[in-house]
Amino acid sequence: MNKKLFSSGIRFSMFNIRCSFFSLLFLSTAFPGMAQEILTLQGALAIGLKNNYSIILQKNEEQIAMNDNTIGNAGFLPSVELNFAQNNTISTTHQEQFSGTTKDVINAGSSSMNMGAQLNWTLFDGFHMFVNKKMLGLLEDLGQNGSRIVIEGTVTDITLTWYGIIQLRKLVRVAQDAVDLSIQRKKIAEAKVTLGAGSQLMLLQSTVDLNADSTRLIQQLVSLENTRVDMNRLLARDVATPFEIDDTISIDKPRPYDTLLQKALARNAELIAARLNQSLSRLSVKQAQSDRYPQLNVNAGYNYNT
């Protein structure tokens, strides 16, 4: 009987060693590089706003729209065309006439020059140019608002991923605690079986519970690592870059609903873009209506030939 208890105690100790190693393995995977630099939310936002390619591309589009918003592109300014052409020829000829005389011309030169200037100016085109200028201004506003939409979307994605990492780390701790409890329940079940006070059914059930809790822990660890990869991708850097974050979440005082609703209606970038597109549609109608009016053009030119 003592020999049986001794062998069971050995198996019990080996199981403890394996379970402890299992727990340390997953904890080291869940929290790699404990001495890594702490990445704050403000730091993550600064890196993301600086390196995000979508923001860089949208900034270029905004600059293009700003450069296009000129009175020249709207059609207010005249157009001037300059032409210049010069031809130089050198010829040698030999002529024999019926009278028997001949005429030779050697290296005879000739030249011609043509230059001209043409001015075209539309003084009135049915308010078409005025509508064009307003449309260019709205396109510039849309470009700026588009940059704001991209920036706000980037900030939102980084913030949600940031708090997602905090949530998953807490879920990993909960799952780890569940694994520890399952290990203890299995130890108790093994001890009862050894002493003859328990059943194999209880031992098998505790083993099944431990496997289920271990599976949930692995799933949480995988989700945590995937979220870390998503964070590095949002920051436009190597997805394998290690980092640690602070689990502290500060909750501000909630604001009144009416105040939030008024600010959302006045400042929401998506609503602003919708209003700008409505204005563009109305200007497109006016642009088409401008063809009903007469146009007044001034044309002037000067040519010189020699």
The string of DSSP codes covering the chain is -HHHHHHHHHHHHHHHHHHHHHHHHHHHHHS--TTSPB--HHHHHHHHHHH-HHHHHHHHHHHHHHHH-SHHHHT-S-EEEEEEEEEEEEEEEEEE-TTS-EEEEEEEEEEEEEEEEEEEEEEESTTHHHHHHHHHHHHHHHHHHHHHHHHHHHHHHHHHHHHHHHHHHHHHHHHHHHHHHHHHHHHHHHHHHHHTSS-HHHHHHHHHHHHHHHHHHHHHHHHHHHHHHHHHHHTTS-TT---B-------PPPPPHHHHHHHHHHH-HHHHHHHHHHHHHHHHHHHHHGGGS--EEEEEEEEEE-
**Whole-number pLDDT of residue 200:** 83
Task: Assess contact for 108 and 93: CB atoms under 8 A.
Answer: yes
Instruction: Report the C-alpha gap between 121 and 252 in whole angstroms.
Output: 61
**Whole-number pLDDT of residue 9:** 40
Token look-up 């020249």 returns 72
Q: What is the pTM of this model?
A: 0.68
Task: Assess contact for 48 and 236: CB atoms under 8 A.
Answer: yes
Instruction: Report the C-alpha gap between 30 and 17 in whole angstroms.
Output: 20
- Structure tokens that stand for 146 in this block: 């588009």
- Structure tokens that stand for 155 in this block: 């900030």
Instruction: Report the C-alpha gap between 252 and 247 in whole angstroms.
Output: 16
* CA angle centred on 200, ends 195 and 206, rounded to 5°: 100
Task: Tell me which CATH homologous superfamily contains domain 2-77+124-305.
Answer: Outer membrane efflux proteins (OEP) (1.20.1600.10)
**Whole-number pLDDT of residue 35:** 52
**Whole-number pLDDT of residue 10:** 34
Domain boundaries of the chain, sorted by first residue: 2-77+124-305
Q: Kindly give the confidence (pLDDT) of every residue in the chain, 306 residues in length, as a single tens digit, with 9 standing for 90 and above.
A: 333 433 334 344 334 434 443 444 444 444 444 456 788 888 899 999 888 888 888 989 999 999 999 998 888 999 999 999 999 998 888 888 887 788 888 888 889 999 999 999 988 888 889 999 999 999 999 999 999 999 999 999 999 999 999 999 999 999 999 999 999 998 888 888 888 777 888 888 889 999 999 999 999 999 999 999 999 999 988 888 888 887 777 777 888 888 888 988 888 999 999 999 999 999 999 989 888 888 899 999 999 998
Task: Assess contact for 165 and 245: CB atoms under 8 A.
Answer: yes
Q: Say which residues have a Cβ less than 8 Å from residue 17's Cβ, sequence separation at least 6.
A: none
Q: Count of CB atoms within 10 A of residue 139's CB? A: 17
**Whole-number pLDDT of residue 121:** 92
